[in-house]
Amino acid sequence: MPTSEQLDRARDFLAFVNAGPSPFHVVQESCRRLKDAGFVQIWESEAWVRATGNAKGKGTSKIRVLENGGKYFFTRNQSTVVAFVVGGKYETGGGVAIVGAHTDSPCLKIKPVSKKEANGCLQVSVEPYGGGLWHTWFDRDLSIAGRVVVRTKNGKLEHQLVRIERPILRIPCLAIHLDPSVRDGFKFNKQDQLLPILATSAAKSLSAEIENTQEGNGDDDGLAVVGIPAATKRHHPVLVEAIAKELSTDPTYVEQLEVCLFDVQPACLGGVQEEFLYGARFDNLGMSYCSLTSIIEASNDLKDSPHIAMINLYDNEEVGSRSMMGADSTLLQTALDRLVGVFMKDPHQHDPDAVARTIHSSFCISADMAHAIHPNYPSKHEENHRIYMNKGLVIKENANMRYATDSPGITLLKEMAKRAKTPLQEFVVRNDSPCGSTIGPIISAKVGIRTIDVGNPQLAMHSIREMAGVEDVSTSVELFKEFFRSYSTVNATIAVD
Instruction: Report how far apart, in Å, the C-alpha atoms of 425 and of each of 346, 399, 413 are.
Output: 45, 17, 11
404 pLDDT more than 60? yes
Instruction: Report how far apart, in Å, the C-alpha atoms of 287 and of each of 59, 82, 174 are.
Output: 33, 14, 36
155 pLDDT more than 70? yes
Mean pLDDT for the chain overall: 94
Tens-place pLDDT, residues 86-114: 999 999 999 999 999 999 999 999 999 99
3-class state of residue 5 by DSSP: helix
Nearest to 147 by CA among 251, 295, 281, 27: 27
* Cβ density class 63-97: b for 16+ within 10 Å, e for less: ebbbbbbbbbbbbbbbbbbbbbbbbeebebbbbbb
- For residue 188, the tally of other CB atoms under 10 A from its CB is 16
Cβ neighbours for 60, distance < 8 A, ≥ 6 positions apart: none
Distance CA 355, CA 237 (A): 53
Q: Taking each helix axis as running N to C, give the angle between helix 470-491 and helix 407-420, from 0 to 180 degrees, rounded to the nearest 10.
A: 110
Distance CA 480, CA 259 (A): 32
Tens-place pLDDT, residues 30-85: 999 999 999 999 999 999 999 876 555 555 568 999 999 999 999 999 999 999 99
Q: Identify the burial level of 487 via C-beta atoms within 10 angstroms of its C-beta, where 0-12 means exposed, 13-18 middle and 19 or more buried.
A: buried
Give the residue with greater pLDDT, 456 vs 181. 456
Q: Residue 214's pLDDT is what?
A: 55
Stretch among 158-167, 324-333, 352-361 having the lowest mean pLDDT: 352-361
Q: Using alpha carbons only, what angle is made at residue 330 by residues 329 and 334, rounded to the nearest 5 degrees?
A: 155
The H-assigned helical ranges of 19-101 are 23-36
Q: What is the pLDDT averaged over residues 394-416?
A: 97
pLDDT band at 291 (very low <50, low <70, confident <90, very high): very high
**Following DSSP, what letter does each residue of 334-368 receive, concatenated?**
HHHHHHHHHT-SSTT---TTHHHHHHHT-EEEEE-
Tens-place pLDDT, residues 160-211: 999 999 999 999 999 999 999 988 889 999 999 999 999 998 877 766 666 6
Cβ neighbours for 387, distance < 8 A, ≥ 6 positions apart: 370, 371, 372, 373, 394, 425, 426, 427, 457
pLDDT band at 226 (very low <50, low <70, confident <90, very high): confident
Output the CA torsion 22→28→34→39 (10° steps).
140
424 pLDDT more than 90? yes
Q: What is the pLDDT averaged over residues 486-490?
A: 97
Tens-place pLDDT, residues 305-324: 999 999 999 999 999 999 99
pLDDT band at 222 (very low <50, low <70, confident <90, very high): very low
212 pLDDT more than 70? no
Q: Residue 211's pLDDT is what?
A: 62
464 pLDDT more than 60? yes
141 pLDDT more than 90? yes
Q: Identify the burial level of 221 via C-beta atoms within 10 angstroms of its C-beta, where 0-12 means exposed, 13-18 middle and 19 or more buried.
A: exposed
Nearest to 388 by CA among 463, 466, 471, 464: 471
466 pLDDT more than 80? yes
Q: Residue 497's pLDDT is what?
A: 82
Q: Residue 159's pLDDT is what?
A: 96
Q: Using alpha carbons only, what angle is made at residue 290 by residues 381 and 109, rounded to the nearest 5 degrees?
A: 75
Q: What is the pTM of this model?
A: 0.95
CB of 487 within 8 A of CB of 419? no
